[in-house]
A and B are shown apart, each in its own frame.
Chain A
Amino acid sequence: MKLNPASGPSAEDTMIDPVEIMLVAGCQKGRVDSEIYDLIAFGQRLQRMGAQGIGTRGIGTEAMGVWILGDDVGPAARDVARRTGVQVTAVQGIGLSGYLNETFRAVISREMEAVQPTFVCAGHTSRGWEWAPALAASTGAACVCGVDGLVESRGRICFQRDVYGGKAKGLYGSSAATTIITVQPGTFKFDPPAKSPPPAQSIHKEVVGSAGRTRFLGLKQGEADTSHMSSAPIIVAVGNGIGDQKNMELIHRLAKLLPRAEVAGTRIICDRGWLGYNRQVGVTGASVSPKLYLACGISGATQHVMGMRGAKFVIAINTDPLAPMFNEADICIVEDMIHFIPLLEDACARLAGNAEQDFVDSKTLRR
């Protein structure tokens, strides 16, 4: 079902070779979305699977292309093409100086018509996740969102993604001619080629046409200042397992016990107003990398985990032995935090008391 490039919808589009894998990213003020390299790594995995004959349609060695939409795209597009050896199409023009799903969908659907891709991939970000499903519905494509793995099952490509709050991975197959996928950032890592790749083409396009129905008015920085979270050596984080607001005292007491510890919470705790949004860890809050992350009563949904993956050491306390948080922990304690934290406080006090005792003993010995 490939369109002959010469019979493409417009003369402008005949410049592009048909591609099997279309990778889409945005670019604001000359800076391309960082997940573009994750997408290229994902595309390369798809190509390798295709080369092994996996998939309902052979992907073969056919081209993969990157589309970058935004403003001041040129230099960024050339940079991506030079570093990866993948052909890049830079699209800029009316409505692309700020992100609007309406403009993205209009541009990408026109490009899809021209190149008839098997896969269209974007980052599973606030933007990719917004435009991808609607584009699928209006073009008759299938859509799988939040993909964090590619596996083979019965000769088919399966897209792996979190279900049930991360308690299980669901494996999804697609029978559609075109499948639109959003890929979890950070799950596919791009390794720059050892030798610099042959220079790839960078094509420039201007969008013409009228403005859409929606209007982008600008960006507003979040009110929450999370800088104190990013530098904290210890974070005591609390989730829904706390149960009641009156139990929050336990968390504050535990944090006082540990040197320079900050209290943090999951989205649900901040939504309830039990902690300020400046203490939220996760995709829409702070990303932290403390020496110790103590997760109390946190189930471990992807949106939270993505904000604490950089922690050096993780201890998780949860009643549910199947809580996904335990998959992200070095030490797992299956207990109810409400009962466990007082026991822990006592145990710490005893140890601290012993330490003083040891010190006295050693001085006595020396004498």
Chain B
Amino acid sequence: MEVRIIMGRHSIMNILVCVKQVPDLERIVVTHDAHGIASLALSDRFAMNRFDEFAVEQAVSIKESMTGVHIDVITVGPERSVQILKRAIGMGCNDGVHLATTANADPGPARVAAWIAQFARSGEYDLILCGVMSEDFMCGQVGPMAAALLNLPYSTQVMGMKISPDRADVSIEREIEGGTRELVDIPLPALLALQPGINRPRYPSLSNMLRANRHVFTTISTDTLEPMEVQVDCMGFSTPPHARAAQVITGSPLEKAEQMAALLKAKALI
């Protein structure tokens, strides 16, 4: 690290971006049996976790703003996950790593963090970026856990970041309740989990996508990584209870509109 700081603007900055493939939430169907036990029918349409797009965009904009930046993107998941590595390359990342799982079930944040940390140890990364959480399991744990395992300083809910000219540290603004921001200085190397809205993620460019389609990704089977005891297990799902009356208006669209208008009138709102 000292060597790089002395080298100044000729130094190379290595960034690792963590991304996850998630099912299309709008297509998930929750059904439940007579005992209230819910089962989920997942969609067969998958995409990059929306929150991770901000991490990819941030890395690419850093690469565009300074010289000598290299971006690796990493994901943990089954074979289909390679699609989102391609998308990340399409957005401007350099290289991709697929930690391939064989089981279809989600490994859970503790294992994902441990695997990413195992990989990251080999890479001398100055900055690790990830989204604030995944849309599907919403744990928000992989980033902080990986940082702890790598003994890196970190922050979450990052809504603004500025790397110092000597690349020794990063000044961040993290968004807290009510939109207030905490201002924190963090020395590099560090891990940051980014809040949506920190930037506007770009669409992959055609030329980059052509490159992505030919790209050969590094694939590592998670079976070859250090096994990890699972301490938290998902014991099932249930349907959320109604917090309010949840009265469903029925009829044709026109009838529904008329009923709603009548309701607004009854409440003296129109």
Query: Measuring CB to CB, which residues of chain A are less than 8 angstroms from any residue of chain B?
Result: 98-102, 105, 125-127, 129-138, 141-146, 153-154, 156, 158, 160-176, 179, 212-224, 226, 234, 257-259, 267-268, 270-273, 277, 280, 283-285, 287, 291-292, 299, 302, 309, 313-315, 320, 322, 324, 326-335, 339-340, 343-344, 346-348, 350-352, 355
Contact = CB atoms under 8 A, between A and B. Distances in A.
A220 B233 contact: no
B161 to A, nearest CB: 13
Given A130-B156, A348-B264, 14 more contacts: A100-B184, A126-B177, A130-B144, A163-B136, A168-B40, A171-B235, A214-B185, A271-B200, A309-B243, A322-B30, A329-B245, A332-B248, A339-B253, A344-B257
Interface string B230-270: 01111111111111111111000110111011111101011
B25 A344 contact: no
B264 A331 contact: no
Contacts of A136: 110, 141, 145
23 contacts: A100-B184, A105-B148, A125-B177, A137-B145, A137-B148, A141-B231, A143-B141, A158-B235, A168-B38, A170-B234, A173-B233, A216-B182, A217-B185, A222-B181, A271-B197, A285-B178, A327-B246, A331-B263, A333-B249, A334-B248, A344-B257, A351-B270, A355-B265
B30 A167 contact: yes
Given A145-B140, A322-B30, A220 B180 contact: yes
Contact of B148 (A134, A142, A179, A299): A134
Interface string B144-161: 111111000111110000
A259 B269 contact: yes
A283 B110 contact: no
B180 A267 contact: no
B206 interface: no
A226 B238 CA distance: 35
B186 interface: yes
A163 B237 contact: yes
B6 interface: no
Contact of B144 (A137, A168, A174, A217): A137
Contact of A169 (B153, B181, B237): B237
A259 B235 CA distance: 48
Contact of B260 (A141, A145, A331): A331
B179 to A, nearest CB: 3
A213 B25 contact: no
Nearest to A224: B179
B174 to A, nearest CB: 7
A258 B264 contact: yes
Contacts, number: 284
A284 B139 contact: no
Contacts of B249: 331-333
B225 interface: no
B238 A168 contact: yes
B197 A267 contact: yes
Nearest to B117: A137
Contact of B186 (A99, A213, A222): A213
Contacts of B248: 326, 332-334
A164 B138 CA distance: 7
Interface of B: 25-26, 28-30, 38, 40, 50, 109-110, 113, 135-141, 143-149, 153-157, 171, 173-187, 195-197, 200, 231-249, 253-254, 256-258, 260-265, 267, 269-270
Contacts of B231: 141-142, 174-176, 179
B234 A333 contact: no
A134 B154 contact: yes
A302 B50 CA distance: 16
Nearest to A138: B148
A169 to B, nearest CB: 5
A143 B245 contact: no
B141 A145 contact: yes
B241 A327 contact: yes
Nearest to B263: A331
B177 A322 contact: no
B176 to A, nearest CB: 4
Contact of B244 (A145, A173, A176, A328): A328
Q: Among the interface residues B173, B237, B248, B261, which one has the most CB atoms of the partner chain A within 10 A? A: B261
Contacts of B138: 146, 161-165, 302
Contacts of A270: 197
A299 B30 contact: no
A174 B29 CA distance: 27
A255 to B, nearest CB: 12
A283 B133 CA distance: 15
B182 to A, nearest CB: 6
Contact of A216 (B50, B139, B184, B242): B184
A31 to B, nearest CB: 13
A220 B165 CA distance: 23
B24 to A, nearest CB: 10
A315 B232 CA distance: 37
B270 A326 contact: no
**4 closest Cβ contacts across the A-B interface?**
A222-B179, A347-B261, A343-B257, A133-B141
Contacts of B246: 326-327, 329-330, 332
Contacts of A315: 260, 263
B179 A126 contact: no
Contacts of B136: 163-164
A160 B247 contact: no
Nearest to A339: B253
Contacts of B269: 234, 258-259, 292
A219 B258 contact: no
Contacts of B135: 164-165
A331 B247 contact: yes
Contact of B25 (A165, A218, A302): A165
